[in-house]
Amino acid sequence: MKLIKIKGYYSDLWKIKLENEKTVNLNDLTDEKMLQIPYGSEIEISIAFDENDFLSGNDGIIWASYDQRQVDIIKNALLAQNVNTELKVKTLGKLKIFLLQINNHKDLNDAVDFIWKSNKGLRLKPDWSYPQGESNKSFEQWLSGH
């Protein structure tokens, strides 16, 4: 679990001024209408998330990508090693994320190592390691043989 803390202060009616000078509307963060925060109060916003949640092997999920082509190619590379996977699709808001799910849990560690953990495998970085809209450079490098 990774935790990011962002500090600021309550600057105006329903507005939080962050340390980086950006402004956040409090009503974008909460539906609570009865908050009575005095102006100038220090505010701390915490964001918690599990890193590599789609890569951890939970529920047999070993890889995730916004690019179905990428997942299909990795699926076939694993199949060539006699590791069977299934393609799953999850909707995150307006985005679709394509998941590879391992069928036989005894193959889970080998598949994870092959895709991203081991230096002898593909050594892919997750799509979200790159700016939005950019292709997965590690995948494209592996695909082109570099």
Contacts of 136 (CB under 8 A, 6+ apart): 65, 67, 70, 124, 125, 126, 127, 129, 130
Helix (H) or strand (E) holding 96: strand 95-102
Residues 135 and 79 in one domain: yes
Supply the pLDDT for residue 119: 85
pLDDT tens across 53-68, in order?
Answer: 778 788 899 999 999 9
pLDDT tens across 96-146, in order?
Answer: 999 999 989 899 999 999 998 888 889 999 988 888 888 999 999 998 886
Residues 69 and 101 in one domain: yes
pLDDT tens across 12-60, in order?
Answer: 888 999 999 999 999 898 888 778 899 999 999 999 977 667 787 888 9
Contacts of 34 (CB under 8 A, 6+ apart): none
pLDDT tens across 77-103, in order?
Answer: 999 999 999 999 999 888 899 999 998
Residues 135 and 66 in one domain: yes
Domain span including residue 35: 2-49
Supply the pLDDT for residue 53: 74
The pTM for the full model equals 0.70
The total number of structural domains that make up the chain: 2
Residues 45 and 113 in one domain: no
Q: Which two tokens stand for residue 25?
A: 């509307």
